[in-house]
Structure 1
Amino acid sequence: MSSQEKSNFVACLSVAALALPGLMQTAVAGRVEETYNADFQYGHYSESSSRISVNTYEGALSAPIGKSMTASVALVKDMVAGASPRYNDLDGKGNVRQVLSGQNVGGQVISSASPVNSQCGKSICDTRDGISPSLTYFFDSGSVTLNGGFSRENDYTSRYVGTTISKDFNKKLTTANFGVSLAFDEIDPTNRPALKGSKTGQQYLLGVSQIVNKDTLLLSNVTFGYNTGYLSDPYKLVYFYDNGQFVDFRRDTRPREKFQFAWLTQYVRHFGDLNDAALHIDYRFSTDSWGVNAHTAEASWHQPVGDGWQIIPRVRYYSQDQADFFQMVGTDLQAKYYSSDYRLAGFGAVTAGIHVSKEFTELAPLSHLKFQIGGEYYNHSASYQLGGNNASDFADFNYFLITGSFNMRF
């Protein structure tokens, strides 16, 4: 399975979806956790038209070391099954359709990245296992974190190392954050040894958080990224046409480097007269050297309802422009780069969800126990793109995401 596809699905299941690998968006300086913590989360992701489904299991443990250090380790297992778009074809009338495994689903023909796997009865059947240890040292006005990670699946191996430094200023009302992460990935496509390759990634974070008053918090950070190496998708194809007639097909070919920039701003407002509710509003702009400009806006309301219960409804809007080299089907045989991957098309997406949690504080020997369940619905549509777009509506789809988790302190 394509490593890019899988990373997209896993990102949907991640609690820290906006965090860089090994780099959290913010860090709380000068505060060592004095308790032992255990976390577990389960997530189920399911796309429409019987495409990809993912089951994710995540666990984490953290423990204090003396009075100034905290050590933690996180484990993850993703189980992926289903089928995924491989290329786009014309239906004989000049209209684009997706081709997926010879089965006609919702007016589209659906194709896969590999033959049906007997272990799970699906075209794609893979498992990813990962581990991420970290160590944080706290001092009076800041903290330093060292972390790393390793994950492996059938066709992809990833390693990363990183560090984050936080420093308090202005009587601890202002916190500055700096982080860097380096990733080293190996791609070994199933049944395609000639396409074996590697890539490296560098990501840098600069951020600041500001307590405006007792009820208001502002956070803002910028991230810079540079990736080089094998950045194409070894499982994708591009079908070329001339005047509506098929002439050739070629493998997905993308530039071997990509520069990225993103700016995230968060606003948090506390409402004490509404039972300590809080409003969170986020906006993120990102752009890269492939021509993909994206906007993300999200709002959530955190409402305690008494006796340890909390309800969190949320809504998110996303819009992106298509990559410079994206084509639904190939039309220029002389082009150096080309991809018909729908994730590089122009589109928009709307997500709505709700999470419900229950917290217990008097369960000896535990000092804290919290359960949470949640669900999200995601709708991907070309027409949702800013400015409107119907050129890539052949790839419209939706998914459901269900999660459950608990946290213990003892």
Structure 2
Amino acid sequence: MVWEEAGVAVTDPQHSVTDAAEDCNTPPPVQRVAGTEPRVCGEVPRTHKTLRALSSAALALPGLASSVQATAAMERQWDLGYFNYVEGGARMRVEGLKQGLVLPLGEALELRVNGVRDTISGASPIYNVPVIRCRDGRVFTAPVISVSGASGNPQSGGPPPERPPLNTGECRLSSAQQVLLEDTFQDVRTAGDFKLDYTRGDTILGLGAGVSQERDYDSRFLALDLRRAFNDKLTTLALGYSLAADTFSPLNRPGFSGDKDAHQFLLGLTQVLSRNDLLQINLTLGDDRGYLSDPYKNVYLLATNTAIEESRPDRRRQWNLLARYNHYFAELKAALHLDYRYSWSDWGIEAQTLEAAWIQPLGQGWQLVPRLRYYTQGEADFYRSYFETLPSSGDYSSDYRLAGFGALSGGLKLTRQLSAQARLDLGVEFYDRQSDYGLQGHTESTFADYGFTLYSLSLHLEF
């Protein structure tokens, strides 16, 4: 669950926290801008992305996420969960509480209601600056205007210090380093959604909607999906559409507000291959329009020694393919889940994900679920760690989530069935982002490497 990955708009409800991080292109509103927004992605950063992304992954909140499965709870269900996300380097920390309620309304209707409230705090990267190294051993950090933690924008701090000339052969540009907010920030997100499913024969029609609110970001979404079973219920076809409308008023730009609309279309097929094998394929198209830049991210210009706001295209289209294979090993009473995801966007970001999970019952109500995941993405066409001059295209960003990189993540979940109606889940996940892990061509971005750990606790009740 690393919102840091810019390529994979996944519409499947099974992905874990680690998925969210990299499925940063998912239309649902849950991704804020601010800082180590773990879900990297070509996704348009918006207010505290980490917060929204983390929550959506943990709760599978909005949009089409629930449309790919035709599960119907036979009894009332209540889920209560807590998660704690901590990044290395004293950067981001997120704590969240979530609740979910499933209410069958007769034989044909089922209502699902979710709510989440989480808090985020920490320091966030703003832009990058190059390091200058000279033959005589001197090392300079390219002088920049100071950055205010309250606004996230450069502030005038008098004339910048001198730097050595770069055209004499005595000094050269070296690696870059991130500039963080001078102080930490805090924010709170409150979100809720509902999903109503109507079942008639082999067809399920779903309607969902939800809202998410923060100090500087409001998001609303509406989703429709249709699932139809064929071939003695061995084949299921899923169609879906969701629309998210976001409005934000960045704290560093009083009087300004920006709007974004995100459309997502889904076509899915689930096929039972045998008694122990199942195959699922989902294809989604996302179309985002509006103000897609991150008002809290800047780029550094070497020519003028200043930092200015980034500028991204006002439209992004992205294709995503998910292929999932599940196999049940009867002799071990265990199941293997294999996922492959491919994503491509017209921002030039191509991403791939491989994931494996093993579900192993241990007896006496215990179950263990280890999982491992690898993610790789190429950089956006308009990404550079810093710019010598502005490109003629008018699009430029130094957001590390748009860089090329790879990531290894994994987790372990331990489940205890307390009774026929109660289940307790304990989980831990880790994430390690490294520029060197990436397979696609990219520029060096080791300055943005980091990791995080996420702990979760949840209780599931049926009544």
Counterpart AA for 1:143: I
Secondary structure of 2:331 counterpart: helix
Contact 1:348 1:386 in 2 (8 A): yes
1:391 aligns with 2:448: no
- CA deviations on 1:94-148 (whole Å, 9 max, x unpaired) are 998999879xxxx966522xx74xxxxxx22000000101111011102011000
Change (3 A) 1:143 1:14: same
Contact 1:53 1:82 in 2 (8 A): yes
CA shift, 1:248, in A, is 3.4
Greater per-residue strand proportion: 1
Tell me what 1:133 maps to: 194
Counterpart AA for 1:400: T
Change (3 A) 1:407 1:100: farther
CA shift, 1:247, in A, is 3.5
Q: Distance in 2 between matches of 1:151 and 1:64?
A: 25
1:204 aligns with 2:257: no
RMSD after superposition: 2.4
1:111 aligns with 2:180: yes
- Structure 1 gaps, min length 5: 117-122, 363-367
Tell me what 2:128 maps to: 88
Q: Distance in 1 between matches of 2:56 and 2:312?
A: 27
Q: Distance in 1 between matches of 2:205 and 2:47?
A: 33
Contact 2:131 2:177 in 1 (8 A): no
Secondary structure of 1:135 counterpart: strand
Q: Distance in 1 between matches of 2:316 and 2:61?
A: 19
1:24 aligns with 2:70: no
Q: Distance in 2 between matches of 1:379 and 1:388?
A: 19
Tell me what 2:374 maps to: 317
Normalised by the length of structure 1, the TM-score is 0.89
How do residues 97-246 of structure 1 correspond to structure 2 at under 5 angstroms?
Answer: 110-112=179-181, 116=183, 123-242=184-303, 246=304
CA shift, 1:332, in A, is 2.8
Q: Distance in 2 between matches of 1:265 and 1:16?
A: 21
CA shift, 1:388, in A, is 6.9
Q: 2:88 aligns with which of 48, 71, 82?
A: 48
Counterpart AA for 1:144: L
Tell me what 2:116 maps to: 76
Contact 1:383 1:389 in 2 (8 A): no
Counterpart AA for 2:360: Q
More contact order relative to length (CA 8 Å, sep ≥ 6): 2
Q: Distance in 1 between matches of 2:178 and 2:65?
A: 40
Q: Distance in 2 between matches of 1:46 and 1:349?
A: 17
Secondary structure of 2:265 counterpart: strand
- CA deviations on 1:151-188 (whole Å, 9 max, x unpaired) are 10011000000111100000000000011000110010
Normalised by the length of structure 2, the TM-score is 0.79
How do residues 286-297 of structure 1 correspond to structure 2 at under 5 angstroms?
Answer: 286-297=343-354
- CA deviations on 1:9-46 (whole Å, 9 max, x unpaired) are 54345456888634325221xx6433111001111111
Q: 2:359 aligns with which of 296, 302, 311?
A: 302
Change (3 A) 1:257 1:396: same
Change (3 A) 1:318 1:20: farther
Count of aligned pairs: 387
Q: Percent identity?
A: 35
- Structure 2 gaps, min length 5: 1-32, 35-44, 134-138, 150-175
Q: Distance in 2 between matches of 1:95 and 1:26?
A: 53
- CA deviations on 1:239-259 (whole Å, 9 max, x unpaired) are 1113xxx44332010000000
Q: Distance in 1 between matches of 2:297 and 2:460?
A: 40
Contact 1:87 1:341 in 2 (8 A): yes
The runs of at least 4 aligned residues of structure 1 exceeding 6 Å deviation read: 16-20, 94-102
